[in-house]
Amino acid sequence: MNAEFLAITLLVGLGTWMLRYLPTRFMRGTGDPEAPLSRFLSATGPAAIVALFVGAILPMLSPDLQSVAPLLIGSAAVVALYFWRRDISIATVGGAIVYGFVFALM
């Protein structure tokens, strides 16, 4: 095992642990939603989802519209279904079905 890989893995693990432990340690009893730490923590969930989404779609991007069409239509279906039903599970499953259907047609 590479020493750099081990060091990065340990640092990422430590950072993840700190993001989970420190807020519970320092925010006991405060409950103020306008506190800077509360606002930071409420933003980390959406930021993590966007980071995972971008990391997942980057390898799929290409200038060929035919290869990108399932991704674009599936993503649009997720957004449309979410705004229609306000349910993330229905939007996710529906977007996956639309993506698969468009992929099969291409």
Q: How confident is the model over 43-84, as pLDDT tens digits?
A: 777 888 888 888 888 887 888 878 888 989 999 999 999 999
Backbone angles phi, psi at 11, to 5 degrees: -65, -40
Q: Which of 70, 78, 76, 75 is nearest to 94 (CA)?
A: 78
What is the value of pTM for the model shown?
A: 0.58
- Is 37's pLDDT higher than 90? no
CA distance 92 to 8: 32
CA distance 1 to 102: 42
Map out the domains of the chain as residue ranges. 1-60, 62-106
